[in-house]
């Protein structure tokens, strides 16, 4: 069950703040970097690296790639936000703090709902980008695949928090402000 306010009897039992907790931020960023390297090497097995096509002006390709990357990030955070609103009825907040783009909410989400909120963008955008990588002409593989690498490696924070949730009580509620998550339980 999801709640717009913290239910009676619940207390804070922990949390993760990726801006303040250097060890958590390091773990997430090293995980993201490791995933990006492995995915890049996998891409080299699939296709030789050639970021830009000879058929389209370089500046146009660069602008399209940057637009695609920004569009992806917006879709990723909108997916989090739409699901936050769906599960709580509360309007989410969106932002960028110079390090992370984020969607946040004042609501308290149960474990199942929060996992869906956290993992939905990487799953549905991953499938969409996989389709684009397969359907695109060979000269557009690498621009699409680099966005896919961003998708999969960029989900390191979401995956990290989902792994932490496994060890927490069954009645867990999560509040996600965007880059900081707080965990609540009524159990001692």
Residue 160: left if φ>0, alpha if ψ -120 to 50, beta else—which one? alpha
Q: For residue 147, is it within any domain?
A: yes
Neighbouring CB atoms inside 10 A of 10's CB total: 17
Q: For residue 2, is it within any domain?
A: no
Separation CA 48–CA 154 (nearest Å): 23
Domain count, the chain: 1
Q: For residue 1, is it within any domain?
A: no
Q: For residue 6, is it within any domain?
A: no
Separation CA 55–CA 143 (nearest Å): 15
| pLDDT at residue 188 is higher than 70 | no
Q: For residue 5, is it within any domain?
A: no
Q: For residue 3, is it within any domain?
A: no
15 — phi, psi (to 5°)? 170, 175
- Predicted TM-score (pTM) above 0.95: no
Hey, what are 141's tokens? 């593989």
Q: For residue 26, is it within any domain?
A: yes
**What pLDDT, in 10s, does the model give residues 63-93?**
888 999 999 999 999 999 999 999 999 999 9
Q: For residue 120, is it within any domain?
A: yes
Which of the two residues, 15 and 138, has the higher pLDDT score? 15
What pLDDT is recorded for position 139?
A: 79
**What pLDDT, in 10s, does the model give residues 7-43?**
999 999 999 998 889 998 899 999 999 999 999 999 9
Domain extent at residue 48: 11-185
């Amino acid at each position: 069950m999801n709640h717009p306010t913290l239910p009676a009897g619940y207390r804070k039992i922990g949390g993760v703040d990726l801006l303040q907790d250097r060890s958590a931020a390091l773990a997430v960023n090293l995980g993201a970097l490791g995933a990006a390297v492995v995915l890049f090497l996998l891409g080299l097995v699939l296709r030789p690296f050639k970021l830009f096509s000879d058929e389209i002006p370089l500046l146009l390709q660069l602008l399209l790639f940057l637009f695609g990357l920004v569009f992806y990030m917006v879709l990723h955070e909108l997916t989090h936000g739409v699901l936050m609103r769906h599960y709580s009825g509360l309007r989410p907040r969106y932002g960028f703090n110079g390090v992370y783009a984020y969607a946040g909410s004042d609501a308290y989400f149960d474990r199942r709902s929060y996992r869906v909120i956290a993992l939905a963008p990487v799953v549905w955008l991953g499938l969409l980008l996989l389709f684009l990588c397969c359907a695109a002409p060979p000269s557009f593989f690498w621009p699409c695949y680099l966005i896919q690498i961003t998708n999969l490696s960029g989900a390191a924070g979401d995956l990290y928090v989902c792994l932490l949730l496994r060890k927490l009580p069954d009645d867990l509620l999560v509040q996600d402000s965007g880059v900081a998550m707080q965990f609540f339980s009524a159990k001692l």
